[in-house]
Amino acid sequence: MTDPSSPLPPLFARWVGSIVKDAIPGESRATCATCAMCRPAGSETPDTGARADPSDPASARDSFLYFEPDAKCCTYVPDLPNFLVGRILDDDSLPPHGRTSLAARLDAGTRVTPWGVGVAVPTALLLRHGRDAFGRSTTLRCPHYVPDLGTCGIRGHTDAVCATYFCKHDRGAVGGAFWEATEALLLVVQRDVARWCVAEIGLRADALEKLLCLDERLDAPALDGRETDSRRRALWGEWYGREREFYRRAGEIAGQLDWADVLRVSGPEVALRADVVSERWRRLSSREIPDRLRPLPHEVIAASRHFVTVSTYRATDPLEISRALYDLLPAFDGRSTPEVLAATARSRGFAPPPEHVRALVDFRLLGEPEGLSPLPRSPESGTSATGR
């Protein structure tokens, strides 16, 4: 049974849930309709950072990476495998824009093949070379974005990339590593299940040959974001003109697969990547603190007398900690963690609680000693890395 609270779309949630054998929590700090990456109205210093010491009030912050409210992370256009296209077509609960935007992609015919609905060449080029525009450029905005609602029109059937992207993670880099592994797994699953659907539904031999030799030509129709009728006929064979029927059939048969079936119809890479997801989940589920820790390299992006905000594993997920906690980092010098905490309690009258130490590990401010670089020089007390 699918967990309705899962952050993954239902089909993916069922498959990944069979790997981790547990309910996958959402990322509470990565919001969509009220984007956590956008500057709040009337505020110059939004609360974009996690805090290892949540009992302390927020301090002034700037120098953050902001998204535009009418772009957000929806500046990515998904490649939809055939079975997800079919599930979207059959989902009457989607907002009207979700289904009409898919219909527009199907009617345009650009990269509409039995594999699924791909991204038009001009859009793909912009996405590839406009990485600094991610989150900011409405030109890159996904056609399935619903402007009036600020949400996704095909939510519940998004591809592997959209389904696993979160700008912030409750467990920092530990959560990020789990979702990166899950994305890599689902990308391979999408490909293999889509190919299995084609094999199950069937294509005429000449169409199948054309499909297997499909290339990404930069001819005039491709650059104009259109497809020639003759090429579509060659790719679809007897299914030409019945593309929606083909997709619906793919959605139906893929929806009947459990995880054991996915492993059966997929190549060996799926099983290997599932093992990685399982291990990343084990780490995400653990709250253990390593026995020995040392500081990891990081960037101070804001500092004041009482707080320091650092960037560690990802620019979109800074961490704010109290100055007192930041100044304790050098004490973690490879000695056992209990020994360090006992020594800081004696010498400074302050030892961070275990959950704060765990947060420093999660966000890669502290790590196990092997191969680590020394801690950068601490910013002067009362000054700011941003000049404030």
pLDDT of residue 43: 52
In the block, tokens 């900011």 appear at 136
Binned average pLDDT, 10 residues per bin, the chain of 388 residues:
74 96 91 83 54 48 68 91 98 93 92 92 76 83 90 94 95 96 98 97 92 74 73 92 97 98 97 97 95 94 93 92 94 94 91 93 92 40 29
Quick one: pLDDT at residue 39? 81
Looking at residue 292, the DSSP 8-state letter turns out to be: B
Answer yes or no: are the C-beta atoms of 72 and 35 closer than 8 Å: yes
- Which amino acid is present at 114? P
The pLDDT, as a whole number, for residue 3 is 58
Neighbours of 180 (CB within 10 A): 16
Give residue-wise pLDDT tens across range 207-254.
Answer: 999 889 876 666 677 666 667 888 889 999 999 999 999 999 999 999
Element (H, E) at 112: strand 112-113
Q: Are 35 and 64 in contact (CB under 8 A)?
A: no
pLDDT at residue 132 in the model: 77
Residue with tokens 């996904």: 142
Query: First and final CA of the chain: distance in angstroms?
Result: 53
Q: What is the DSSP string of 192-214?
A: HHHHHHHHHH---HHHHHHHHT-
pLDDT in tens, 313-344: 998 999 999 999 999 999 999 999 999 999 99
Residues 6+ apart with CB under 8 A from 141: 70, 71, 74, 75
Q: 3-state class of 272 per DSSP?
A: helix
> Which among 309, 360, 287 has a CA at the least distance from the CA of 330?
360
The per-residue pLDDT for 51 is 62
DSSP-derived secondary structure letter, 367: E
Name the packing angle between helices 173-201 and 82-89 (round to 10°). 90
Task: Give pLDDT, residue 59.
Answer: 38
pLDDT score of 319: 93
pLDDT of residue 214: 76
Hey, is 181 helix, strand or coil? helix
In the chain, the amino acid numbered 70 is D
Q: Quick one: tokens of 358?
A: 């765990």
What pLDDT, on a 0 to 100 scale, did the predictor assign at position 225?
65
